[in-house]
Amino acid sequence: MTFNPFHATSGVLTADDPSSCDLLGFAADRGHREFRCLSREHNPANCVPCLDFSPWLRERVRRDDVDGLGEYLWRVRRANPGLGGTGDQVRQQYADLARAIMAAPLGDFLQEGSAEAYLDLRVTLVVLAAHETFSGFIMAGEAADFAAAVMAPHAFRLTCAARLVERRNDFVLEMGRGMDYWACWAPLSPEAIHSPLPPADPGYQSLRRSLKTLPLGARAHAVDALRHLCADTGLPRSLTSLSRHETRRRGVDVADSSRLILQSGLVIPATDAEAWLKSWTRRDLLGFLTQAGVRAPKSWNKERLAELALMDCEAGVRERMAESGAVEIAPAHAEAARRLCNYIEDVKETWRVWLAFGSGVQQ
């Protein structure tokens, strides 16, 4: 089997690195001093990976390296295992979980996917397994949203939807007998879930190809950014501000992923300075004008101050905008990005039910 490699510059790890180093070598010195695979910015007990490990995990899945996958799960959860037993017993349980993920028959309910699609799907299960169990309880979180985002470039045909929905409804009914939270969940009909088949038009295919070039963490970050920018098309924002908590929780270095997303061509540096200034406060504008040596009446409202800034200091405004890293959707992908947002909403329920009852991971 042949897969497209990940290409990256500016210090981002390339395709050769994951295949030639161990887990701690891949993490290098970017993690916590004691828990080296975990983020320095978060409490280790939150078990947030320090970077996007999906390229390394992809190589381990490709090689059927159960020991490597088990080590990843153990190192991410070591500060807060959530399991009983001795240290050796906990480590063995994560090794068993890795083995279960590798043995899972992913094609039982999701068929006709490409080899690359099933590879990405299995890596996604490993990434999710650091924080989730593949049971009905996974439906209560945001795992389906993450799966829908990272699997957006791939197509599958869903089979036996009625069986999956029956399992889901039985679980909700049983849990609802003792818990008000689940009692509020309405039954689903089989028509509520359907095949994850992205649009086939050329514009969307171009967006899919761009998403496929990204490792999973950066891919989820890219989808976060596109969804935010589609929801508020008139307000450019920096990529570093456009990653959801759910994405960061799974492991992503936002600076690295921002560079990769820009390189993919999905977004471009913002050009609409007037729209960008809408994110400034009145105090920001007064401070900027004062620093630029432009006098403005303190009684002026934000809109008049923004007009003055663009009139007298446009070059300075654009310089600030460039320094901020503000981006907008690339025009070539604008229409496809809107359809991507609708598509993810359409298939999110499918992924929610499949992760709970169709993945085949035996825990």
The per-residue pLDDT for range 301-324, each reduced to its tens digit, is 999 999 999 999 999 999 988 988
Report the alpha-carbon distance of residue 128 to residue 211 in Å, rounded: 20
95 touches 363 (CB < 8 A)? no
Per-residue exposure over 164-194, b if at least 16 CB sit within 10 Å of its own CB, e if not: bbeebbebbeebeeeeeebeebeebeeeebe
Q: Where are the domains of the chain?
A: 202-336
Q: Are strands 326-329 and 237-238 parallel, antiparallel or unpaired?
A: antiparallel
Query: Residue 18: its pLDDT value, please?
Result: 66
Judged by average pLDDT, the poorest of 2-11, 210-219, 334-343 is: 2-11
Q: Which of 22, 109, 167 is nearest to 118 (CA)?
A: 109
Report the alpha-carbon distance of residue 57 to residue 190 in Å, rounded: 34
Q: Which of 316, 337, 312, 361 is nearest to 102 (CA)?
A: 361
117 touches 155 (CB < 8 A)? yes
Report the alpha-carbon distance of residue 44 to residue 23 in Å, rounded: 18
Q: With a cut of 90, say whether residue 279 has pLDDT above it.
A: no
271 touches 288 (CB < 8 A)? no
Report the alpha-carbon distance of residue 254 to residue 225 in Å, rounded: 12
pTM of structure? 0.88
Encode pLDDT of 260-274 as tens digits.
999 999 999 998 888
332 touches 206 (CB < 8 A)? yes
Q: With a cut of 80, say whether residue 2 has pLDDT above it.
A: no
Encode pLDDT of 53-65 as tens digits.
999 999 999 999 9
Judged by average pLDDT, the poorest of 13-17, 164-168, 195-199, 338-342 is: 13-17
Q: Please, which pLDDT band fits residue 296 given cuts at 50, 70 and 90? A: confident
Q: What is the mean pLDDT of residues 329-349?
A: 95
Q: Please, which pLDDT band fits residue 34 given cuts at 50, 70 and 90? A: very high
